[in-house]
Amino acid sequence: MKKFFITMIGIMLVGTSANAQSSNDFSGPYIGGSIGYNSFSSDALAENIGGLTFGGVGGYRQEISDGVYLGAEAFINFSTASKDFVVLGQTLETEIKESYGIAAQIGVEAGNNALLFANAGYGWTRIGAEADVLGTIISETESDGGFRLGAGIETTLGNGNGIRPRLEVNWQDFDGASSLGVAAVFLFGF
């Protein structure tokens, strides 16, 4: 995991000279924060588990043709999603802890200050469960990964300050489970 983050930081710090030649603010490295909502479903659970998410994102994007961008980004999100289930007369407390991953991104300019984009990558989610069985607390935490897809729109504020709001939707597949989420992301390009 340490090598992954060092690699992403390296990618974000190179190639900023091309950003100075671009007519907009979509090229170059960026970091940001997000807030949203995710709903998790599983074949093993009778109901979905949903909650607020908050986290961070960092990446690098380069214009590869007029108005067409290619990039990569990493993310981490923490969740408030939790739900109690009754199984064989016992309460099973389930919570979604965090999600993290990487994605490739392609984007196309839409008008003067907007970018439509799509992401494809891989993400992991850590889920915890706890139950009191005959006076003994049994706790289990597991991470599971799967293919992740997303799409959204990002805008510049038009004044060249590097702040770019983004709205996005994402879906992730796990073995017998999936998540669907929406988020508002506030990016700072540099």
Q: Among 26-35, 93-102, 138-147, where is mean pLDDT lowest?
A: 138-147
User: What is the rounded average pLDDT of the residues 102-127?
Assistant: 94
Residue 89 is encoded by which pair of tokens? 């007369």
Report the percentage of the chain scoring pLDDT > 90.
54
117 has pLDDT over 70? yes
Residues 56-88: tens digit of each pLDDT: 999 999 999 999 999 999 999 999 998 888 877
118 by Cβ neighbours in 10 Å (0-12 / 13-18 / 19+) ranks as middle
Q: Tell me what the pLDDT averaged over the chain comes to.
A: 85
* Distance separating alpha carbons of residues 68 and 22, to the nearest angstrom: 12
* 3-class secondary structure, 9: helix
Residues near 168 by beta carbon (within 8 Å), at least 6 away in sequence: 119, 150, 151, 152, 153, 182, 183, 185
Residue 106 is part of which domain span?
2-189
Report the percentage of the chain scoring pLDDT > 70.
85
Q: What is the pLDDT, as a whole number, of residue 3? A: 52
pTM over 0.85: no
Q: What is the pLDDT, as a whole number, of residue 112? A: 80
User: Beta-carbon neighbour count of residue 147 at 10 Å?
Assistant: 14
The residue ranking higher by pLDDT, 88 or 164, is 164
Looking at the structure of the chain, the number of domains it has is 1
CATH number assigned to the domain comprising residue 125: 2.40.160.20
* Distance separating alpha carbons of residues 79 and 126, to the nearest angstrom: 10
Element (H, E) at 18: helix 17-21
190 has pLDDT over 70? yes
